[in-house]
Structure 1
Amino acid sequence: MSLDGWNTLLVLGGIRSGKSEFAESLLADAATVRYVATAAGAGDDDAEWAARLAAHRTRRPATWSTEETAASPRRLAEVIAAAQPDETLLVDDLGGWVTVLLDPAHQPADDTATIDELAAAVRGCAARLVLVSPEVGLSLVPTTPLGRAFTDALGAANRAVADACDTVVLVVAGQPCRLKPATAEPAPAVPPPPGRPSVNGLGTTVPAQAGPAGEQPTNGAAPTLPASPPVTTPELPAAPVATGWTAPPTAPPVVASGAVIQPGMDLPMPDEHAGPQAVDRLANLDVPGTGLGVLEQVVSFAAATQGTPTPAPWQSVRVLMLHGDHAGGSAAGTVAGESTRRADQARAGEGVLARLAAESGASLQVVDAPAAAPIEHSPALTAEQVESALHYGWRLAEEAADAGVQLLVLAACGAGTEAAAAAVLAATAGAEAPTVLARVVTETGEIDDVAWMARCAAVRDALHRTRRSSRDAKDVLAELGGGDISIATGILLGATARRIPVLLDGPVGVAAGLISRDLAGQARHWCLLADHGGHPAVQLAADVLGLTSLAELRLDLGEGANALTVLPLLRSVLGLAAALPARPARDNGGGADETPEPEPVEEAEEAEPDFREPEPDGPGPTSTEPAEPADQGSRAG
């Protein structure tokens, strides 16, 4: 389990659950750690407890220092409060601290006040702090007064410290479960217009920057953007370090800060020469067969985006998972809360997408998109919300580029995304909703035709409502697209500006591709379609965008997961194309094992069999010449 973005963290767990080992693993990369030991030393008559303490000491690295606080219950709060910003503290554990607190030698004492002092110290701690504590709330109520006093005091301490910490993790049987995720400070909220959903990447309203006297900014002003969500790397063996890959030197245009995202932006194009050169090089590789087949386009695409005829496999990959729901008929047939459960799974490093990302060594960033209003009744978003979402997506792409990411994978989970993509496709490509909306399949595998008809009706009514509206890119996003497609569009534009290719495979990604095409035509040339999955909207959008699906596996693992399944194949192809040598030239020196020198052209022509029709001696079916008249005097007699 990978955790990012925390400063104070509480690790809970039962006896022998592995909580201490997990807490220590979080600080494995720290140069120095102050280990704060809270338990009293073992007596002469308790060899087993002494062995436990010795095992803890042996496990600590040599660079760690140990500080004992068992002499006084208030000593722990003093140590935490006095810690400096450049320090790292590990407190193990609060159960030992409560034992000291309840020791008769320290009574009478105000236990509640002492626990409050500890929580206040944790809340104001400037250092990086990890606290370990036993979870006693799941056990039986003790039968002795002292046992009940211990569980009550420790339960109160755990609640107070958990409230003060950024993040709380519960370790059960060695498996960490995240209870309290680290959250970035939300942007200042303003009341949304009546009947409109709030918007930002974290689910709260993101106002655009106000001008003088509270005026709304013009399109030339960059809106206030939410904090970027944390980036996690699911735990599996790390991907090999990339070698020989460098981005082309062309600098991206300065658009994301203060300028306008508008149609006609001049963004970079892939190298027009590197792609054909890479394909020509493939024809001369030493392979026994006819080559890479349709996967030649992968090599051509990577060569053009990397600016070299010998592209390297993508090593640093980031998955951007967009979580945004669409209300109304678009979401007909979906289970309430299912998309949120999928997003929480990915954040915790669980589920299909996180597993595939871990196997690929890819980082994973879950982005909360603003919820969209029912498109059959009102616009999905306001114009200000669309502007904010576009800049937010652009910034996510820029952050990925600054982190050295070489390939982005667009993923999405949200109720109603397929209907929203169908509405965008209908508005931009003239498609009919029933032809691009896939059948609705329930959790039990049954086809729900009633839900499918409700989605078709929602798209039909939305198109009728907007029949006189502009079909400009931003207007389509506001009326029909919603937050996830808006952020995805910003990601594609930002990735294009920073020369990062994007792997697509679902309705949200291709819908964003259709919108980005109208803002910057160069964006579609940086997109690669992994697998259309048999989805009619994806197939039609790919045809409009000029994208050819690399595989036809008809996977249905969720948008983004399909692309990650194909990614190892793409990496293998690029690695093979880069590593294979050219076909060796034939040596005509005359050795016994060498291919004999071909004969001169003239001799070869003479040796060829003659396939010309023979000239007949007399009339026949092969002759077109009139027959000679027979000699009347020469007659057999």
Structure 2
Amino acid sequence: MSLDGWNTLLVLGGIRSGKSEFAESLVADAATVRYVATAPSGGDDDPEWAGRLAAHRARRPATWRIEETATDPRRLADVIASARPDETLLVDDLGGWVAVLLDPAHQPADDTATVDELATAVRACAARLVLVSPEVGLSLVPTTPLGRAFTDALGTVNRAVADACDTVVLIIAGQPCRLKPVTAEPAPTAVLPPVRTAAGSPGATVPTQTGPVSAQTGPVSVQQVNGSGPALPESPPVTTPDPPADATAPDATAPDAIGPDGPTAPSTARPATAAEVDIRPGMQLPMPDEYAGPQAVERLATLDVPGTGLGVLEQVVSFAAATQGTPTPAAWQAVRVLLLHGDHAGGVAAGTVAGESARRAEQARAGQGVLARLAAGSAASLQVVDAPTAAPIEHGPALSAEQVESSLRYGWRLAEEAADAGVQLLVLAACGAGTEATAAAVLAATAGAEPPAVLARVVTGGGEIDDIAWMARCAAIRDALHRTRRSSRDARDVLAELGGGDIAVATGVLLGATARRIPVLLDGPVGVAAGMVSRDLAGQTRHWCLLADHGGHPAVALAADVLGLTPLAELRLDLGEGANALTVLPLLRSVLALAAALPPRPDEPAAGAGEDGPAAGEDGPAAGEDGPAAGEDGSEPEPVEETEPDFREPEPHGPGPATTQPAPQPADSSGSRAG
């Protein structure tokens, strides 16, 4: 299960349930961890307890800082309250803390005040905090007064801490069960009337409303249909820009072209539609083929190519093979560009020209402008999608919870319609005021980044650096993060508080594309910010994403590192999000077509069969000076074991090299070809 997005988390579990191992796995990737041990070490008369503590110590990485509170249990609240925002704390466990408190030597004057102090510290903790505690409420009532005092006290502590934490997980027999926040049940879908999608397929059960969503007219509509969930807006039309006269469109009827459903065998299970799916953390979506990618790379090594092969572009072949499910992937023919148009109000849009993003979107609709011309040159269709305008994040949430839900489902349906239309590759593009600063805010919330480090400089239309606008954007992000410092870092909360409409729709596109096994090409801040959020909903999405170029953008470079995406090029174009991807697309197609069409390398001649080798039929070398020649008595000659000569460093004679004559090279008997 995915638990990304938490800030304070309580892990409950019984004895030997695996709660400590689970808690340790949650913080394993943190840069620094403070491990707070609460239990006393015990005496020499209890070797079993000493063995348990030794096992815990052996599991901890050497880089973790250990802090013990057994001698002063009331200090635990101070340790938690004083933790810095860049720290990660693991408290293991509250059962040991309660046991020490019950010791007469540490008995507090007011038990209730002590528990309230701990809960207050947890609620105000600025660091990422994981607390482990035994769940003893499911057992029988102890028969001793001390046992009853322990279970009563620990039950009170668990309730108080669980109320203070934003996430609570119960471990049962090693299996995590999320208790808080409670995920909603999937909405019933039997009452939804079937309608036709924009592509004309009759099978989808998606309720529609009249008119597309517009950034000028307001947020996405969330009116209920039969009480089953928010209605989805009507999808915008898909346009195919006219290619330039000298452009050569890819041949969709080529022998190596893949069909609308791809080369993989169709799944027998019908994928969930946008109206049916329950978008929540821990979603289980398809993964690419884990064998096809390595097999494709191994196949490349056998092809008849000069030099060292395709270099970094091998990963394109591996990615296409994994997403297509075959070691011989074909070039993508049907490509669709989704241009997400959504503005962000407030300080994040400082330095932008009012109405500029709307003008760019209208240009694309008319088949004009940079993105439309690049799409035409690649024979890719273009769909301009209007997302709701985000409110100023420094003053309040960017979107309501209903808008986030509707935007996620809207993006999912856009991916569904692309799959139904036979699209084999999606390209995410975006244009909107304030998108770069919003992406920096999302990275700060999901990856712990420092906003000034991931916020690019603001460049005016005349090519000048506008530091005043950059500082205004930094201040807006700072105020937004301060406003949400107590908020949950759940994916939906990040979208509502900081993300905005375009990132929410892009997140839905990535989730829907993963569900329908469509790869996505990214290259800008909106796309990678959506990748960070979708990772917290379904970790499989990043495996279906390919990064064309980070464009020199610090936020894209950082998100790519977190998501494990390696940029394919370093063009550093600044023509808008999506332009890099469309510029690189012809190169990717050429590489895939080349890898699919090249024949295997012909067999190489055996070593020693050249001009100077022995002629066929000649006697082989003698086995020894006095031994019989090979083949004289009809027996096979003994194999001669080849040994490499010992290497000896030449002794220098004075300064400079030992000799000016080239060292004799041993004959190559390995059979490898020259070059």
Q: Which residue of 2 aligns with 1:231?
A: 238
- For residue 508 of structure 1, give the secondary structure of its aligned residue in structure 2: helix
How far 1:602 moved relative to its partner? 5.8
| Shift in Å, 1:186 | 9.2
Deviations 1:135-190 (A, max 9, x none): xxxxxxxxxxxxxxxxxxxxxxxxxxxxxxxxxxxxxxxxxxxxxxxxxx99369x
Partner of 2:446, secondary structure, is: helix
Residue 605 of structure 1 is matched in structure 2 by: 642
Q: Does 1:321 align with 2:336?
A: no
AA aligned to 1:234 is P
- Structure 2 matches for 1:372-391, cutoff 5 A? 372-391=390-409
- Partner amino acid for 1:230? P
Is contact 1:422–1:433 with CA below 8 Å preserved after alignment? yes
Partner secondary structure for residue 526 of structure 2: helix
Q: How does 1:36-435 map to 2 (within 5 A)?
A: 187=209, 203-210=217-224, 221-236=228-243, 237-241=248-252, 243-245=256-258, 246-248=262-264, 249-250=266-267, 251=269, 253-435=271-453
Compared CA separation, residues 317 and 595, structure 1 to 2 (3 A) = farther
- Quote the offset at 1:554 in angstroms: 1.2
How do 1:461-500 and structure 2 match up within 5 A? 461-500=479-518
Which residue is equivalent to 1:629? Answer: none
- In the alignment, is the contact (CA less than 8 A) between 2:274 and 2:410 conserved in 1? no
User: Aligned in 2, Cα 1:398/1:611: closer, same or farther, shift over 3 Å?
Assistant: closer
Q: Is the 8 A contact 1:332 1:454 kept in 2?
A: yes
CA positional deviation for 1:478? 0.6
Q: Deviations over 1:472-511 (max 9, x none)?
A: 1011101100000000000000000000000000000000
> In structure 1, what is the equivalent of residue 455 of structure 2?
437
Q: SS at 1:231's partner residue?
A: coil
- Alpha-carbon contact 1:588-1:595 (below 8 Å) kept: no
Alpha-carbon distance change, 326 to 247 in structure 1, aligned in 2, over 3 angstroms = farther
1:590 CA drift (Å): 9.7
Shift of residue 206 of structure 1? 3.6
* TM superposition shift of 1:298: 0.5
Amino acid at match of 2:409: H
CA gap of 1:469–1:240, structure 2 versus 1, over 3 A, is: same
Q: CA deviation at 1:302?
A: 0.2
Equivalents in 2 of 1:210, 1:186: separation in Å? 11
Q: 1:573 aligns with which of 583, 591, 612?
A: 591
Instruction: Name the residue aligned to 1:546.
Output: 564
User: CA distance change for structure 1 residues 268 and 595 in 2, over 3 Å: closer, same or farther?
Assistant: farther
* Counterparts of 2:421 and 2:614, CA distance in 1: 56
For residues 483 and 547 of structure 2, the distance between their equivalents in structure 1, rounded to whole angstroms, comes to: 32
CA contact (8 A) 1:222 1:258 kept: no
Gap regions ≥5 residues in structure 1: 1-184, 190-197, 615-637
Distance between the aligned counterparts of 1:352 and 1:285, measured in 2? 37
Aligned pair in 2 of structure 1 residues 612, 541: CA closer, same or farther (>3 Å)? closer
Tell me: CA distance 1:552–1:602, structure 2 relative to 1, closer, same or farther (3 Å). Answer: farther
Task: Tell me, yes or no, if the aligned pair for 1:200 and 1:226 is still in contact at 8 Å.
Answer: no
Question: Equivalents in 1 of 2:218, 2:345: separation in Å?
Answer: 17
CA drift of 1:552 comes to 1.2
Determine the C-alpha separation between the residues in 2 that align with 1:536 and 1:314.
29
Which of 453, 463, 478 in structure 2 is aligned with 1:460? Answer: 478
Superposed CA offset, 1:527-565 (max 9, x none): 000000010000000111111111111111110011000
CA distance in 2, matches of 1:295, 1:502: 17
How do 1:555-634 residues align onto structure 2 when only pairs under 5 Å count? 555-587=573-605, 605=642, 611=647
How far apart are the structure 1 equivalents of 2:536 and 2:249? 38
Q: Deviations over 1:347-387 (max 9, x none)?
A: 00001100100000000000011000000001111000111
Q: TM-score, normalised by structure 2?
A: 0.58
Q: What do residues 296-318 of structure 1 show as CA deviations (whole Å, max 9, x unaligned)?
A: 11000000000000000111000
Instruction: Please name the residue that 1:55 is paired with.
Output: none
**C-alpha separation in 1, matches of 2:270 and 2:215:** 25
Q: Kindly indicate whether the alpha-carbon contact (under 8 Å) linking 2:286 and 2:540 is maintained by their aligned counterparts in 1.
A: yes
Query: Structure 1 residues 587, 187: closer, same or farther in 2, change over 3 A?
Result: same
Partners of 1:319 and 1:411 within 8 A in 2: yes
Query: Does the aligned pair in 1 maintain the 2:304–2:598 contact within 8 Å?
Result: yes
**Structure 1 residue 611: Cα displacement:** 4.8
Aligned to 2:492, the other structure's residue is in SS state: helix
- Secondary structure of the residue aligned to 1:376 is coil
**Residues 493 and 200 of structure 1: is their aligned pair in 2 closer, same or farther, counting only changes over 3 Å?**
farther
2:225–2:231 Cα contact (<8 Å) kept: no
Counterpart code for 1:605: E
Matched residue SS, 1:364: strand
The alpha carbon displacement at 1:342 in A equals 0.5
Q: Could you tell me which amino acid in structure 2 is paired with residue 235 of structure 1? A: D
> What residue number does 1:502 align with?
520
How many Å separate the matches in 1 of 2:590 and 2:613?
A: 33
Task: Give aligned pairs, total.
Answer: 414
CA distance in 1, matches of 2:384, 2:613: 60
SS in 1 for 2:539: coil
* Ranges in structure 2 where 5+ consecutive residues have no aligned partner: 1-206, 622-636, 651-675
Q: Is the 8 A contact 1:417 1:508 kept in 2?
A: yes
Equivalent-residue separation in structure 1 for 2:249 and 2:468 (angstroms): 46
Q: Whole-Å Cα distance in 1 between the matches of residues 214 and 362 of structure 2? A: 18
Q: Could you tell me which residue of structure 2 aligns to residue 75 of structure 1? A: none
TM-superposed CA distance for 1:253, in Å, is 2.9
How far apart in 2 are the matches of 1:595 and 1:498?
A: 59
Equivalent residues of 2:271, 2:515 under 8 A apart: yes
Q: Give the deviation of 1:408 after TM superposition.
A: 0.2
Task: From the CA coordinates, give the structure whose radius of gyration is larger.
Answer: 1
Local SS of the residue matching 1:605: coil
Question: What whole-Å deviation, never above 9, does each CA across 1:579-601 have from its counterpart, x for those lacking one?
Answer: 11111112559987899999999
Relative to the length of structure 1, the TM-score reads 0.61
- Cα distance between partner residues in 2 of 1:593 and 1:534: 55
Query: What percentage of aligned pairs have identical amino acids?
Result: 77
**AA of the residue aligned to 1:399:** E
* Letter in structure 1 aligned against 2:642: E
Q: CA deviation at 1:240?
A: 1.2
Alpha-carbon spacing, 1:497–1:200, altered in 2? closer, same or farther (3 Å)? farther
Letter in 2 for 1:528: L
Structure 1: how far apart are the matches of 2:408 and 2:278?
A: 10
Deviations 1:267-326 (A, max 9, x none): 100000000000000111111110111111100000000000000011100000000000
Superposition deviation, residue 394 in structure 1: 0.4
Report SS of the residue matched to 1:528.
Answer: strand
Q: CA RMSD in A?
A: 2.8
Q: Distance in 1 between matches of 2:545 and 2:638?
A: 49
